[in-house]
Amino acid sequence: MIGVRGAARRTELGLVVLAIIITASAYILASLGRTASLPANLVPFLLVIIGLIALAHIAVRRLAPGADSVLLPIAGLLNGVGYVFIARLDRDLAGLQAVWTAVGVAAFLATLAVVRRPRDLERYRYTFALVGVGLLLVPLLPGIGRTVNGARLWIRLGPLTFQPGEIAKIILAIFFASYLVEKRALLSRRSLPEGARSFLARLRYFGPILLAWGASLVVLVAERDLGSSLLFFGLFVTMLWVATGWAVYVALGAGMFTLGAAMSWSAFSHVKQRIDVWIDPWSRASTQGFQVLQAIFGMGTGGMAGTGLGLGDPTRIPAAATDLIFAAIGEELGLLGTTAIVAAFVTTVAVGLRIAMRARNDFEKLLAVGLTTILGLQAFIIIGGVTRLLPLTGITLPFVSYGGSSLVANYILLALLLRISDSSTRAAA
C-alpha cells in the first residue's frame, strides 16, 4: 500500500508543479498584457505561491499520505488563477488575498493535524449544530453585524470583517451528516407507518426538512441573501435524500424552496428586484441590471478565446474580483478559460463523490457528499448567476473569488475531504 500512496503523492507533486507553472505564466502574461512589462514582484510572488502550495503538499504527505492526489492541485490552480485575476483587477485586494491564502493554507494544515480521524467529528454533533446555527445568525446581531451590498452576511470584530456563513456551511454539513446517519432509518420511507396513523406521526418525517426550510427562509429574509439560502437548503435536502434514498424529499424540497422564493418575491423588494433583473436586465441596463449586463457583455466580448490576459476591460464589471470573477475570466480567457474553470469544478465534484463512494462508514460517506455538494452547488449558483442561468446572488466562486472567509473555509473543507479520502485508503490497507 505504501507504494500506492507514494504514487499518489508523486502524481500530486506533478500536478502541483503544473498548477504553479500555469499560475506563474498567467501572472506574467497578465502583466505583459496590461503594462507590457514583467511584474515587478515576480520573484517574491513565485516564492510565495511555491512556498504555500509546497507546504500544503508536504502536509498531505505527512498527515494524509493516502489521500486523493487531484483535489489539492485543482484547488491550488483555482486559487492561483483567481489570484492572477484579482491582482490584475485590484492591487490592494491582491495583497490581502495573498495573506488570506496563507491563512487558508494554515487552516488546511491545522485541520489535517487536528482532525486525525473523521469520526472524531461525530462526537461533537450538537456542539456543531449550535455553533453552525449561531454562526449563521450572528450577522443579525446589532453592533457586530454588517450589511454589504444589501446582504447582511458579515460581522465585524475590531479591524477584521468575516463572513461566518462560510464556516457555518462546513459545520452544518458535519452536523447534518452525523444527525442523518443516526436518524436515516427513522426518516426513510421504509419506516413510514402503513396508512395515515396521525398527522403528528407523519410530521416526524417532515419536521427536519421544515426546520431547515424555516432556517433558509430566515437567511433569505433577514440576511437578504438568496444564494446562501439556496446553498444551505440545497445542501440539507441533498444530504437528507442521499441518507434516506427517499426522492420525495427532493421533490418536496424543490417545491418548498420555490414556494418560499415566490412568497419572498411578492413580499420583499430585494428578492423581487433580483428576480426581475434576472428575467429582464435589458430594460434596467443602467440601474439594477448594470452588474449582470456588464458581466454578460464582458463574457460576450471575450468570445471563444478571450481578449487575452490583461488585454480586456473587466474592471467595468462591478465586484469583478469577488462574486463576478468568473465574468472577468470569461472576458480575458474566453470560453476556453471558463470551460477550464467549469471542468475543474466538475473534476472536483467527481473526485469528491468518488471519495464518498469509497468511504468506509456512513458518516464519512455522508460528510463527503455534503462537502462536495457545497463546492459543486456554490460554484453552480454563482456561475449560473453570472451567466444569467439563475438570478445573480452574492456568493463567492470557491477558491477563485477574493474573500478571506471563503478561502479559509474552502481550505478547511478541502482538508476534511482529503482526511476522509486518506481514512478510507488506510482502512483498505
Partner 1 sequence: MDRQIKTLAVGMMVLFTSVFLKLNQVQVVQANDLANDPRNSRVATRDFARPRGAIQTADGLVLAQSTPTDDQLKRLRQYPGGQLYAGITGYFSFTYGASGVERAYTDFLSGRKASTSLKGLGDVFNDKEQTGNVTLTIKNAVQQVAAQQLGNRRGAVVALDPTTGGILAMVNFPSFDPNPLAAHDQKAVQAAYKQLAADPAKPLLARAYGEIYAPGSTFKVVTTSAALERKPELATKTYPVLKQLDLPHTTSDLPNFGGSSCGGQLPQLLKVSCNTGFAQIGLDLGIDALKSEAQDFGFASAPPLDIPGAARSRFPDTTDWLRDDPRLAQSAIGQNDVVASPLQMALIASAIANKGVAMKPHVMGEIRDNEGDVVRRYLPSSWRKPVTPEVAAAVTQMMIGVVNGGTATGIAVPGVQVAAKTGTAQTTGKNAHAWIIGFAPADAPKIAVAVIVESQPGVSEATGGRVAAPIARAVIQAALGAP
Which spans of this chain sit near partner 1 (rule: CB under 8 A)?
Answer: 238, 241-243, 245, 285-286, 293, 296-304, 312-313, 316, 330, 334-335, 338-339, 342, 345-346, 349-350, 353, 356-357, 362, 365-366, 369, 373, 376, 380, 383-384, 387-389
The least CB distance from residue 343 to partner 1, in Å, is: 9
Q: Which is nearer to partner 1, 165 or 376 (CB)?
A: 376
The least CB distance from residue 7 to partner 1, in Å, is: 25
The least CB distance from residue 278 to partner 1, in Å, is: 13
The least CB distance from residue 303 to partner 1, in Å, is: 4
What Å distances lie between residue 28 and 21, 34, 45, 101, 309, CA to CA?
Answer: 11, 10, 11, 20, 9
Rounded CA-CA distance 303/290 in Å is: 20
The least CB distance from residue 29 to partner 1, in Å, is: 20
Q: Which is nearer to partner 1, 21 or 350 (CB)?
A: 350
Q: Which is nearer to partner 1, 41 or 361 (CB)?
A: 361
Rounded CA-CA distance 244/147 in Å is: 38
Q: Which is nearer to partner 1, 140 or 285 (CB)?
A: 285
Grid cell in block for residue 186: 427513522
What Å distances lie between residue 393 and 226, 252, 271, 273, 362, CA to CA?
Answer: 6, 23, 10, 11, 33
Rounded CA-CA distance 138/405 in Å is: 15
Q: What is the 3-state secondary structure (H, E, C) of 72-103?
A: HHHHHHHHHHHHHHHHHHCHHHHHHHHHHHHH
Give the helix/strand (H/E) hosting 162.
strand 160-162
* Strand order through the sheet with 160-162: 145-148, 151-157, 160-162
The least CB distance from residue 248 to partner 1, in Å, is: 13
Q: Which is nearer to partner 1, 34 or 270 (CB)?
A: 34
Rounded CA-CA distance 410/422 in Å is: 18
The least CB distance from residue 161 to partner 1, in Å, is: 30
Q: Which is nearer to partner 1, 34 or 426 (CB)?
A: 34
Q: Which is nearer to partner 1, 82 or 302 (CB)?
A: 302
Rounded CA-CA distance 228/216 in Å is: 8
